[in-house]
Amino acid sequence: MRSFKQLSSLAKKIRTHVLKMTHRAKSAHVGTSLSMADLLAVLYGGILRVRPKEPDWPERDRFILSKGHGCAGLYAALAEVGFFPLSWLEEFYQNGSILAGHITHYVPGVEASTGSLGHGLSIACGMALAGRREGKSYRVFTLMSDGECDEGSVWEAALFVPHHKLDNLIAIVDYNKIQSLGTVKDVLDLDPFAAKWKAFGWAVREIDGHDYKAIEDALKNIPFESGKPSCVIAHTVKGKGVHFMENSLLWHYRSPNAEELECALKELEEAL
C-alpha cells in the first residue's frame, strides 16, 4: 500500500490527466472523474490485487466502473499504474481511438464496458458468484454513481447479493449529490441512503470519499461482516479539487478551455 502522500500524488496525477484529456477532447463529464479520483487512487494504489503487466491474471480482483461516463478518471488511473502507456491518454475521445467516452473493455485493465447506467452491479454479481462457485479468492468491486441508483436494476442486484451471501462483492457509491438535471435531493431523493442498503442486507460504511485514511480503512477491512456484501457510501464533492468545478451541475457538461485548464492545473499544483 502506498503512503498517504503517495496516494495524494497519484490522485493529483489522475486529476491532472482528466483535465488535460477533457480539454483536448472537448468532452463532458469532468466532475464525475474528479469526484472519484481519490477513491481510484486508493483502489489502484494498493487495495486492488491486480497485475498491470498481466491484465488477464485469473486471480485478479475485478473492478467494474458502473458509472461509465467517469472513464477519463479510470483510463488515467490504469495508465498511471502501468496497464498501458501514458501516451495513450492523448487518444482519448479522438477519431479512430479505442479510448471511448464511456469505459470500454477494449482497453487493457478494463473489466467490463458500461455507459448505460445501472448495469455494473449486476455484472459484478455474476463475477462474484462465479468466483465463489469456483472457490476463488478474488473480490469484485464496483463503483456506482448516486444518480445511477435511480435505476430499478440497481435494486434488483442489491436484493440478489445479500440473498446469495456474496461477501466477496463490494459496492462503492460515489455520493456526490448531483446528477444530470439537478441535485439528487431535487430529482429523486435517495436518503436515508445507508439505511436502504442496510435494510436490503448489506454491511454499510459511510465515509468521506476524499479522506485517504477513511477510504483505506474501509477497503482494507472487507468484508465488513462475514457472509454479507459490503457497501461503501463515499460522500464526495462533484468536481473535487478545482474550486470552480466543485458542486456545479455545469461541469457535468462543460470541458475546460485553455484558460480554465491553466487555472485548474495551477490550483491542483498548489494544493497540499
Partner 1 sequence: MRIAFFRTLLELAEQDKRIHLVVGDLGFGAVEPFAERYPDRFLNVGVAEQNMIGIATGLALSGKIVFVYSISNFPTLRCLEQIRNDICYHRASVKIVASGGGFVYGALGMSHHVTEDIAVMRALPEMVVVAPGDPSEVELATRAVASHSGPCYLRLGRTGEARVHQKNVSFQLGKATLVRSGKDVTLISTGALLETAFQVAEELEEQGVEVRVLSMHTLKPLDSEAVLVAARETQAIVTLEEHSLIGGLGSAVAEVLAESSEVQVSFKRLGIPSGFSSCVGDQEYLRAVHGLSKNGIMQSLRPILSLIER
Residues that bind partner 1 (CB under 8 A): 25, 27, 68, 93-102, 104, 113-118, 147-148, 150-152, 179-182, 187-188, 249, 252-253
Does 113 help bind ligand TPP (rule: CB under 6 A)?
no
Cell of 187: 430529482
Burial environment of residue 164 by CB neighbours within 10 A (0 to 12, 13 to 18, 19 or more): middle
Size of the site for ligand TPP (CB under 6 A): 20
Which strands sit side by side in the sheet containing 203-208, from one edge to the other? 62-65, 140-145, 169-175, 230-235, 203-208
Instruction: Give yes or no for residue 32 binding ligand TPP (CB under 6 A).
Output: yes
| Cβ–Cβ under 8 Å, residues 7 and 45 | yes
Q: Which is nearer to ligand TPP, 67 or 139 (CB)?
A: 67
Q: List CB contacts of 220: < 8 A, sequence separation 6 or more.
A: 1, 47
CA distance linking residue 119 with residue 112, whole number of Å: 10
For ligand TPP, the nearest residue by Cβ is 147
CA proximity to 142, closest of 166, 169, 116, 165: 169
Q: Which does 178 bind (CB under 5 to 8 A by kind): partner 1, ligand TPP, none?
A: ligand TPP
Which of helix, strand or coil describes residue 241?
Answer: coil
* Residue 145 contacts ligand TPP per CB under 6 A: yes
Question: Least separation, in Å, of the C-beta of 165 and partner 1?
Answer: 28
Q: Would you count residue 15 as binding ligand TPP (CB under 6 A)?
A: no
Residue closer to ligand TPP, measured from CB, 50 or 64: 64
- Which does residue 255 bind out of ligand TPP, partner 1, none, counting CB within 5 to 8 angstroms by kind? none
